Amino acid sequence: MIEIAVTCGDPAGIGPIAVVKALSSGNLPKGVRAVLVGEELAWRKAGWRPGLAPLAPTRLGIKAWPAARPSRRSGIMAFSALRRALELVARGTVQALVTAPLSKTALSLAGLPHEGQTEFLASATGRPKAQMILLAPRQGLRCVTVTRHIPLSQVPGALRAPVIADAATALFKAVRRLGTPRIRLGLCALNPHAGESGLFGGEEKGVLAKAAALARRHGVPLSSPLPADAAWHEHRAGSLSGLVCLYHDQALIALKAAAGFGVVNWTVGLPFVRTSPGHGTGFDLAASPRARRLVDDAGTVEALRLAARLCRMRYNFK
């Protein structure tokens, strides 16, 4: 039996509802059991009842929190669940971790220093180079983002050849672990038309070209900078095994256009399996009286499936 810790995420969002819906759907692989982590009241509000899945409560004693918006209380609850789940993984009580979405605003309101779940897990495990690999498993799409949650105006200044090469290496290892033969990765350009020979920007002929050369010297089959729209077309057609994207929306817009809510985040480089659905807290949807019916659990189902698959592969954490 593969046991997977599943955190509640922000209890004011759709995460707990999506988890309960996924566990009730009958769409999970056989031989997999979820262990729900978080405040019992948060899970009960989402529809959990004893018998659906065992519960590892955080026992904070919080009885109420603002609905459908980030707050200090919901930030504390989400982070406490994440920390408790990490303890379960460290003790070997569970074999993998699936995290429901939380709000970075709520973390900030709670006075917590971490930018997000990936950053906390990387710091807590001493794995600063852990990378988020984003997948649409049913469509066969995979990518990595070089930068994550920073303003778009800061992206050009954050691009460094070694950082891009590290991201490409993480994607290469992830794609190889999934059993893909003859890997070829594409590097998305920053500027339209890949800079049009410098007419629309110099990053492609400068830092991106250096990054591609550095990655290839390390044995990673990474292309020269490609126009991002063409790169996604080639990946969807199967001529590229995955893409190195430079910023958040360059990856997520294409993935979600193809897969909707069925996008998954796989954090490679940690000493255990961690996945999560690729959507956010959905506070606007959580505010609806029909939230339980309207919430799409596809990302949570895919995150649980991928975590189980990686556990069965005897995942190599190096």
Q: Please tell me whether residues 153 and 115 are part of one structural domain.
A: no
Q: For the whole prediction, is pTM greater than 0.85?
A: yes
Domain encompassing residue 300? 1-130+269-318
The verdict on 176 and 155 lying in the same domain is yes
Sheet with 242-245, strands from edge to edge, namely: 55-57, 32-38, 2-7, 96-98, 273-277, 264-268, 131-136, 141-145, 242-245, 185-188, 222-226
Same domain, 125 and 141: no
Together in a domain, 197 and 275: no
Q: Which pLDDT belongs to residue 27?
A: 84
Return the percent helix, strand and coil in the chain, to nearest 5.
45, 15, 40
What does the pLDDT read at residue 313? 85
Structural domains counted in the chain: 2
Residue 3 shares a structural domain with residue 87: yes
Measured CA to CA, the distance from residue 259 to residue 306 in angstroms comes to 15
For the domain that residue 279 is a member of, what is the CATH number?
3.40.718.10
**Co-location of 229 and 302 in the same domain:** no
What was the pLDDT predicted at 220?
98
Over its length of 318 residues, how does the chain's per-residue pLDDT go in tens digits? 999 999 999 999 999 999 999 999 988 888 999 999 999 999 999 999 999 999 999 999 999 999 999 999 999 999 999 999 999 999 999 999 999 999 999 999 999 887 789 999 999 999 998 999 999 999 999 999 999 889 999 999 999 999 999 999 999 999 999 999 999 999 999 999 999 999 899 999 999 999 999 999 999 999 999 999 999 999 999 999 999 999 999 999 999 999 999 999 999 999 999 999 999 999 999 999 999 999 999 999 999 999 999 999 865 554
With beta carbons less than 8 A apart as the criterion, state whether 294 and 286 touch. Answer: no
The DSSP-derived string for 176-193 is: HHTT-SS--EEEE-SSGG
Residues 6 or more apart whose Cβ sits within 8 Å of residue 32: 1, 2, 4, 304, 308
Same domain (yes/no): 176, 230: yes
Q: Are residues 86 and 179 in the same domain?
A: no
CA-to-CA distance for 101 and 15, rounded, in angstroms?
6
Same domain, yes or no: 14 and 101: yes
Give the pLDDT of residue 278.
Answer: 95
- Please report the pLDDT score of residue 160 as a whole number: 98
